[in-house]
Amino acid sequence: MKSEYDVLIIGGGPGGALAAKTAAEKGLSVALAEKRPAIGAPVRCAEGIGEDLICEFFDEIDPKWISAKIEGAKLIAPDGSYFYLNPEMAGNEVGFVLDRKFFDRDLIWQAVHAGAEIFVKARAVGAIVENGVVCGAKIEYNGEVREVRAKITIAADGVESKFTRWCGIDTTVPLREMETCAQYLMTDINIEPNITVFHVGREIAPEGYLWIFPKGHRSANVGIGISGTQSGDGQRAKDYLDRYVSENFPEGKIIEQIAGGVSVCEPLECTVSDGLMIIGDAARISDPMTGGGIYNAMYTGRLAAEVASKCIESGDLSKEALMEYDSVWRDSKMGRALERNYQMKEIFVKLTDKQLNAILTSVKNLKMADFSTLSLVKEIVKLNPKLIKDLTGLK
């Protein structure tokens, strides 16, 4: 590890990897520090992603990244009524359940091939801030803490991000907007191999949802997220998950367990400061409605590196110059979806089980030629006029 780079990236998730690859392709000297001993493990993710989204980054999808191809989805209400998005309707919403152990590693390999230096078991333990300007990080590596300076530092350290705080930016997520999650990778279970399943309702997953994401033959990520404020003794995410699993998959085997958090708040007010760019989960850029953030992290990682490259070339590393990154992602399709989905989430968390039952019953027989989340919401509004008042803010 050298003492100086053009770009230093903290965190080796999909966001950090895309930032490293893009910055290296632009000819910059790049270091990425990942605190874990291995990239991609443990996987704290249900691994779902839309096909159109992932195709934005690659000409070809490597089959080993994919655990299952998804052709439809079932959204199940507390009383068992459900909306079934079948393969004919699914259109552009089909997707994949990834194998992130392979996927994340390949992203990092691509960064290495582009020329980035990657360090695992390299933990950022502090920021170097001089006169308000972020100039790099203190990295604990091989038993010693060293100062690594950079023209631009990119915080890609995920939902647990401390780096941004060390730079003086408040990243607190209100407890009600932090979903606490538990997930089992299960095998020996009867599932539909190409259909994702979502259960909603206060009894099953208060202010969140329970998911089944197929991972191949008789295997799936079975997980749950509930609001932090709903968690308590006997009512933790794992308790809800255990109850569901014992009722629905009593013979299933759990071969991996994870716990994690997902922020469902609005993104940070500003995602840059002098010498610093914040991407992906660290910037709270995951989808407030679904909790999905793989695409968002990759998108912001690539964009941050592109803007960083321009700013390094021009020699202007000020917050004002880096703001281009902040305004471009906010104005992008993804940024606008975040805004809309935040409003949707605020309504969703207030719905009672009775209202959820009514909504899902109303759309049960819906056939839509052109499916998208937004068109489904529009149909729900049409069929449930009482909700319109709450939803009128939607774009």
**Residues in the site for ligand FAD, rule: CB under 6 A?**
10-16, 33-36, 44-49, 123-124, 156-160, 162, 181, 183, 223, 260, 262, 280-282, 286, 291-294, 297
Residue whose CB is less far from ligand FAD, 47 or 306: 47
Q: Measured from the CB of residue 150, what is the shortest distance to ligand FAD in angstroms?
A: 14
Q: Measured from the CB of residue 285, what is the shortest distance to ligand FAD in angstroms?
A: 8
The alpha-helical segments, DSSP class H, found in 130-284 are 163-166, 237-248
As a whole number of angstroms, the distance between CA 306 and CA 247 comes to 49
The single residue listed with the structure tokens 């068992």 is: 80
Q: Can you state the angle between helices 373-383 and 353-363, rounded to 10 degrees?
A: 100
Residue whose CB is less far from ligand FAD, 69 or 378: 69
Q: Measured from the CB of residue 39, what is the shortest distance to ligand FAD in angstroms?
A: 7
Q: Measured from the CB of residue 228, what is the shortest distance to ligand FAD in angstroms?
A: 13
As a whole number of angstroms, the distance between CA 249 and CA 243 comes to 10
Residue whose CB is less far from ligand FAD, 96 or 249: 96
Collect all residues with Cβ–Cβ distance below 8 Å to 333 and sequence separation of at least 6: none
Q: Measured from the CB of residue 143, what is the shortest distance to ligand FAD in angstroms?
A: 16
Residue whose CB is less far from ligand FAD, 183 or 309: 183
Q: Which long-range contacts (CB under 8 A, 24 or more apart) does 246-254 make?
A: 249/186, 249/189, 249/190, 249/222, 251/188, 251/189, 252/186, 252/187, 252/188, 252/189, 252/222, 253/186, 253/187, 253/188, 254/184, 254/185, 254/186
Q: Measured from the CB of residue 287, what is the shortest distance to ligand FAD in angstroms?
A: 8
**Residue 87: other Cβ atoms inside 10 A:** 12
Residue whose CB is less far from ligand FAD, 160 or 353: 160
Collect all residues with Cβ–Cβ distance below 8 Å to 174 and sequence separation of at least 6: 265
Q: Measured from the CB of residue 310, what is the shortest distance to ligand FAD in angstroms?
A: 22
Residue whose CB is less far from ligand FAD, 124 or 380: 124
Residue whose CB is less far from ligand FAD, 297 or 358: 297
In DSSP notation, 294-336 reads: HHHHHHHHHHHHHHHHHHHHHT--SHHHHHHHHHHHHHSHHHH
Q: Measured from the CB of residue 196, what is the shortest distance to ligand FAD in angstroms?
A: 9
**Residue 386: other Cβ atoms inside 10 A:** 9
As a whole number of angstroms, the distance between CA 106 and CA 113 comes to 10
Distances (CA, A) of 168 to 128, 267, 276, 373: 11, 17, 11, 37
- Coil vs helix vs strand at 4: strand
Residue whose CB is less far from ligand FAD, 199 or 357: 199
Give the residue from 80, 77, 97, 84 showing the smallest Cα distance to 205: 77
Residue whose CB is less far from ligand FAD, 17 or 89: 17
Q: Measured from the CB of residue 352, what is the shortest distance to ligand FAD in angstroms?
A: 25
